[in-house]
Amino acid sequence: MIFRVVDTWQTFILVLILSVILFSCSDSGIDYKITTKVNPNRIAPLTAELTITSEIPCRATVKVLGAQPLEQIITQSSDSLVVPVLGLYPNSENKVLVTLEHAGGQLTDTVSIKTNPLPRWFPTIKINTLDREAMEPGLHGCDMHFANNGVFRSMPFIFDDAGQVRWYLDLGFHGKMVSPFQRAQNGNILMVGRHSIYEINMLGKIVKQTQIDKNYGMHHDVLELPDGNLLACVGKRDAYIDLNGEQVLSDSDFIMHYDRKSEQITKEWDLGKNLDVDRADLNFFRPGDWLHMNGLVFDSKDGSIIVSAKNQGLIKLSSDDKLQWILSPKNNWGRSGRRGDGFDTNPFLLTAIDSNGNPYQSAIQNGMESASDFDFPWGPHAPKFLPNGNLLVFDNGTYRNFNHSNNYSRAVEYEIDESAMTVRQVWQYGKERAEDFFSSIVSDVDYLPETGNILITSGYLHPKTTHSGKIVEVDKSTNEEVFEATLFFKTLNGDKTVAGWGQTDILYRSQRMPLIN
């Protein structure tokens, strides 16, 4: 047997490590060569790229070995393959098993790939509950943003069932927050800054970067439509509202439709035209931030949009920018319009009913009290449609019942009858966990299609004491937890005593996802 090995090491910016390993084995009947490049695009440190050349075409499978092995299968057959390696362990001499299949059989070899430690500000992850047989397949993706003395450094990551981080992107080059972290239909990671749209593959290559019209600023949510175009929450330059006779610059109160092929904004929806802009019952930031839109749902049946607005509730708009309904406490709603001279918004408020179809008393309708089996969403985030057509949302519970004495967060399912203009609470999880599960900002909820479970992210727990976030997967039929992880934040580059943007670490959202290229 002839065996040749050549090792080459070179240091890049961000300590890139190159190793070249040359194998030839007469038992396999072929000569081949494997070249390994760690962190090939400089922003995904737990990835590598193998270049495999052989004298005849081969198919390749690579498996990162360890307590939780991760495998990538390349179906293409070629004498020159470029194979992604995802899921390397940090601060390790990773062993990666390479299997080459060819016309004469198959051969295996193992390459070593060394990685650096995680950044010191990464959270400590504790797995509290794990029932893999009852869980949705996949790993745990986190839309994570680290405090950076008044701005955020966005570094989404994926961890495994043992709490080990196996992949992350360092988006610090952008200089500010980039969010939300999500998979596009083409397999790339889709994220946005204020004026930039990024498509990045799992190896950290920026496949496409697009700048939008700077009269618009994206924030909080971008939604990929079935046709591949985008809906985004935006603020618009020189948009004002009238508050007590004073013109105030507003923010975060438009939706834009963005055509990715033409790279143009082709349509917009104006929330200020449709809602009562001076309803300030839940606005604790500044007068112009009257809405604080943070989430969107698109209904492909009729082109309508459901908006999550932290300071007002849930709102449905038609495809032609007409108000359909408002899911919010009925207290203190007035006339719509940026000058307050539009239509009366009260007829659009949904009436809350119990399981027998009876309306609750006025104190509950107005949000002054909560029923045992119904409450409105307070400071909500992340609305989603369920397969049955009901609406799922994360109810933060911010200033519930217009006070600070009833703090709990939850995932909640609502059934809405648009013809009768009623809303009924069908299911909830989280109220029973009280303040231990209370997140006043951010957070997320997802329906998991293979199991029917619900994934809940309470992303900002106890910022002044044990600052953390929780990811919980719940069996909806039993309300039992089948998975729970606690992420203990460090906030090394901020000030936890200041309730300010970019001063504390936040877990904006999470999702169950495979770690594949």
Distance CA 236, CA 265 (A): 12
Burial profile 135-144: b = 16 or more Cβ within 10 angstroms, e = fewer:
bbeebbbbbb
Per-residue HEC secondary structure of 21-45 comes to EEEEECCCCEEEEEEEEECCCCCCC
CB of 45 within 8 A of CB of 94? no
Q: What's the pTM?
A: 0.93
Q: What is the pLDDT of residue 29?
A: 67
Tokens of 368: 């002054």
Q: Backbone dihedral region of 490: left (phi > 0), alpha (psi from -120 to 50 degrees) or beta?
A: alpha
- How many CA atoms, within 13 angstroms, populate the side-chain half-sphere of residue 514? 8
Domains of the chain: 18-114 (2.60.40.3100), 124-513 (2.120.10)
Residue 309 to residue 54: CA distance in whole angstroms: 56
The residues pairing with 179 across neighbouring beta strands, listed in sequence order, are 192
Distances in Å between the alpha carbon of 217 and those of 58, 192, 254, 255, 272?
48, 10, 10, 10, 16
* Ordered DSSP codes for 379-432: S-EEEEE-TTS-EEEEE--TTGGGSSSS---EEEEEEEETTTTEEEEEEEESGG
Tell me the two tokens of residue 373: 């089996």
Please state the φ and ψ torsions of residue 20, each to the nearest 5 degrees.
-115, 125
pLDDT beneath 70, residues of the chain: 1-29, 499
Q: What is the DSSP string of 272-315?
A: HHHSBTT--TT--S-TT-SS-EEEEEEETTTTEEEEEETTTEEE
User: Quick one: pLDDT at residue 496?
Assistant: 81
User: Of 383, 410, 374, 384, whose CA–CA distance to 395 is shortest?
Assistant: 410
- 8 A C-beta contact, residue 64 and residue 70: yes
Q: Is the peptide bond before 180 cis (omega within 30 degrees of 0)?
A: yes
H or E element at residue 243: strand 240-243
